[in-house]
Every structure is written in C-alpha cells, then in structure tokens.
Amino acid sequence: MGVDRSRMPAVGDDPTFRFPAIVRHRLANGLQLRTIEHPGLPIVTFVLQVDGGSGADPAQLEGLAALTADMADEGTGSLSAIDVSDAFARIGGDYDVDVAPDATTFTLTTMTRFAGRGATLLADIVTRPSLRQDDFDRVRQLRLDRLKQLKDLPPAVAERAFLRLLYGSHPYGHLSIGTDGSLQRMVRGDVARFHASTFRPSRATLVIAGAMGHDDLAYVAQQAFGSWPGGASGTGSVAGTGGERLAAADSIEPPTAGAPRLAIVPREGAAQSELRIGHLSARRDTPDYAALLVMNAVLGGQFVSRIMLKLREEKGLTYGARSGFDWRRGRSPLLVQTSVRTAATAEAIRDTLDEFEGVRGSRPPSAQEMALAKASLTRGYSRNFETGPQVARSVAQLALYGFSDSYFEDFIPKVHAVTADDVTRVAGEYLDPPRLTTLIVGDHAAIADSLPSLGLGEPRILSAAL
C-alpha cells in the first residue's frame, strides 16, 4: 500500500492508561506500606517518605531537616560513611535523598536478589544513624561552602529572595539548604532531637515497587522496618529542638499582604537580568488542578506557550522563559522565570504582565492553544511510569497528598474535560495581576531609568546574602 507523504498522519485518541495495582499494608509500629508489582527488570525500588521536609525546620534553624537527612548515610552502628557507601556498592544500590517543603524522601534501587539486604541497610541508616560529631562538622561545613558558591549563581539568589518575598517568615519561606546564620547556629544535638521527633514510623510511608509478589515485598519490609520503634507522635506536627510542638507548614496560612510589587537584588555589571514574576496561588489538592495545568500550558508551561513565543520567538529577548506552579500541600507559588539581556529587562517584564492579563479573559485561549496545551500534558503521559523507580516515587506522591489509588488513571480524562471557559475561570480566580511580585537580580544602575514606566512603584532593594 502506498503512503501519502503530502499529508501528516492522523493523530489518534490517547490510549487508555492503566496504573499498576497498589496494595496497602500497615505494620504494627504504624508504618504505612504500599507495594506494587513491577515485572520486567529484576530490580526493586524502596521509597521511604517521612512527613516533614524543609517546612518543618524550626525558626532560626532553617536547613535542619536537610542537614539531618544528609547525616543518614554518614554511618550507622559500627559502619562509617565509607562503610555505608561500600555496602551500597556491593549490592549495586542507587541511593538518593530529597528534602522538599513537605516531606523528606529516601530512595534506594537495587537488584531483587539483594532486596532484603538493601531494605535492611536503608532502615539502618534512616532509623538508626550514628550522628557522630565529626560527621556533623564535616557535613555542615560542606553546606556552608555550598552556600558560598550559590551566592555567585543568579538563579539561586533569585530563588531564595523570591521565596522570602512571597512567604515572609512562613515555614515555606526558605531554601532547604538554610542560611549561613542558621547553619552556624546548629549543633549536633539539634540534629539528634529533630531526628528523634520526626523520623517515626507513624509519620512515614514506605513504597516498594519491584519484580516480586506483593507478599514477598511486604515480607521484606516487615523484616527490615518492623523493629523501628513506634511513638506517640502523629502526622501534622513535629517537635521543635526545645520540645515544643510545631504546626505543619501546610496548616499555617501565608501572609496575604506585604510582598512588594517590585524588588531588586543589585548585581553590578551583570549582562543579564534574572527575573521571577508571580504570587501565591492554589494548593496541590485543589479540585481545579487539571484546569490550572492547562491554563499554565497556554500561559508559559510549554515551548509554544504565549510567554515563550512573545519573549523568545517574537522579540528575541531570551533563550527561554517558562511559567509553572511550585506545588506543595499549602499555598503554592505560580511564577514565571527567565533571564533576559539587561537592556530588555523592563520590556520583558511588561510583556509578561500583559500575558497574565490576557489569559484572564481579554485573550481567551483559542481552540488550537487548547489542543496544544492538552497534548503537552497527555501525549507521553504514560512515560512518567515506565520504570520501577518512577512508579514508586509516583505512589509516594499519592501518599503525600492523600490522593486515591486511581488518581493517575483519572488524570488524562480530567485534562480532556477542561474547556476554554474553565481556563478563563481559573485564571480569573487564581491569577491576580495587582498581587504579582516582580523580582530582578541584575544591574540596578543600568535599568533604573526604565523601571518607573512599569507602574509597579518604588523597588525594594534586597541583599544577595544567603
């Protein structure tokens, strides 16, 4: 049969997506366990998610959660940090730890024949770390050195300053690495107390995905984590270093006022301006999640989005610009981030603010924009769940936000159900241009004369200190 190469092939409907079955268990000590059979490669992935990330850092000790997490693989029992590294190497283990605003997540992938050894090693380092003084001193110094490096990176400076502008003193208002002052104040006892109050089975979920049956996966978990002592501490709060109960970050409402409309971190002689534009918006569990994703894809969430086409393709002001939600359990930021040449700073800000206004109603999304936005979210969606580690981390997200086991299967139909009217509605409800904060990390002297035309008021001058 001949092929007509004069026409593009027709695009069919999205195939039906089926997420593997999740079986829930609960150990006697309170640890929540979810197992997923993932046949194919003979590997198994463990994801241990502890409720309490950087948002659980006590005041004046920002960075404590991340430093505590970093201390886990520094030794356990008689094993040193090098011994732990060697133990991972002997089982071909791929170990990682991530400290997000709402949770700390430890991930280990190894061969199925080493599942028991891997689970035991992970349990030992997470639940029974040595927390030696010399290891604490070294890890803290490494983080202090990293902060010095970040001061020379405009994107890192912008991220830190923008969080503080949006959240103020709220628990979400700092980077997980903390600050120079907070790290200097920390002592080893702070880490020990934070670990004792936060790392409890009643505050954790273990997800295991691998080429083993559910019963076998559950047995491995029981053998490794069944002896983890339980405790009275439940989810929703964590003890401070002084023993006081601290409210969960997502239960604390961020400030609704106080953020300036324009702020600058001066960077003399900078050839480019690093920009952040946004404000606090929805929570991750909002029922408007699908509509917000489509709206964002139209606005700036994909290469053919309005902001990208305006700033890069039409005007050549930047190599790239993108918008997105930095999701968390509590109020999450919607922001645009880009870097533009210094002389184009005001023009890029003005064009971006115009696009925020347009998507709210004056320029509703066209049929083509809706089709492209939905395609960017649904075409290839199943690729997010191809490997065991991807599946395990995805199930951990279900636990973090309290979503149903059918959440991922429901996603594509929900996106397809979004209409242009839905996009306009959520843009009007969740976008508020007068509340937008614009942050510039760049050469203040070079752009000062062009900023008044933006109508954002007098800029607040910030320090670049981390």
**Residue type (1 letter), 411:** F
pLDDT at 462: 96
End-to-end CA distance of the chain: 65
Q: What confidence score (pLDDT) does residue 1 get?
A: 63
Least confident span in 236-250, 376-390, 425-439:
236-250
Summarised one tens digit per residue, pLDDT across range 183-224 is 999 999 999 999 999 999 999 999 999 999 999 999 999 999
Q: What was the pLDDT predicted at 238?
A: 62
Q: How far is CA 83 from CA 88, 121, 125, 185, in A?
A: 9, 11, 11, 29
Residue 233 CA: distances (Å) to CA of 198, 244, 245: 8, 12, 10
Is pLDDT at 243 greater than 60 in this prediction?
no
Please, where are the H alpha helices in 168-244?
A: 180-185, 188-198, 214-225
DSSP H/E element including 111? strand 103-111
Among all chains, which residue has been given the structure tokens 């964002």?
A: 296
pLDDT of residue 149: 95
SS3 content of the chain, % helix, strand, coil (to 5): 45, 20, 35
- Residue pair 19/38 in contact (Cβ under 8 Å)? The answer is no
pLDDT number for residue 9? 78
Region 92-97: mean pLDDT is 98
Structure tokens at 340: 């533009």
438 forms beta bridges with 262, 277
pLDDT at 230: 83
Residue 314 reports pLDDT greater than 80: yes
Do the beta carbons of residue 241 and residue 61 sit within 8 Å?
yes
pLDDT at 231: 64
For residue 349, what are its two tokens? 């800000």
Q: What percent of the chain has pLDDT over 90?
A: 90
Mean pLDDT, residues 135-157 taken together: 96
Average pLDDT in the 60-67 region?
Answer: 98
Q: What is the mean pLDDT of the chain?
A: 94
The pLDDT confidence band at residue 405, using thresholds 50, 70 and 90, is: very high
- Asked if residue 143 lies in contact with residue 74, where contact means CB atoms within 8 angstroms, the answer is no
Domains assigned to the chain: 23-251 (3.30.830.10), 262-461 (3.30.830.10)
Strands (E) across 243-355 are located at: 245-247, 262-266, 272-280, 321-325, 333-341
List alpha helices for 9-114, DSSP H: 64-70, 81-90
* Helix H or strand E encompassing 154: helix 154-167
Position 233 pLDDT exceeds 60: no
Query: pLDDT (tens digit, 9 = 90+) per residue, 253-283?
Result: 998 888 999 999 999 999 999 999 999 999 9
pLDDT one-digit tens code per residue, 344-353: 999 999 999 9
Using an 8 Å Cβ cutoff, are 291 and 416 in contact? Answer: no
Let me know: does 106 contact 42? Beta carbons within 8 Å: no
Segment 14-39 shows an average pLDDT of: 94
Taking residues 384-390, report their average pLDDT: 96
Whole-number Cα distances in Å, 217 to 50, 94, 164, 391, 454: 20, 18, 43, 15, 59
Distance CA 19, CA 36 (A): 10
Q: Is 84 exposed, middle or buried (0-12, 13-18, 19+ CB in 10 A)?
A: buried
Q: Which residues pair with 210 in a beta bridge?
A: 37, 44
Q: What percent of the chain has pLDDT over 70?
A: 96
Q: Tell how far CA 413 is from the center of its chain.
A: 25
Name the DSSP letter for residue 11. Answer: P
**Residue 16's pLDDT band (cuts 50, 70, 90):** confident
Predicted confidence band at 459 (pLDDT cuts at 50, 70, 90)?
very high
8, HSE (Cβ side, Cα atoms, 13 Å): 3
Residue (of 229, 157, 175) closest to 65 by Cα position: 175
For tokens 């991750």, name the residue.
284
Determine the pLDDT at residue 241. 60
Concatenated DSSP letters of 420-443: HHHHHHHHHHH--GGG-EEEEEE-
CB 324 within 8 A of CB 376: no
Which residues have a Cβ under 8 Å from the Cβ of 128 and sit 6 or more positions away? Answer: 76, 77
Which tokens in the block code for residue 181? 């002052």
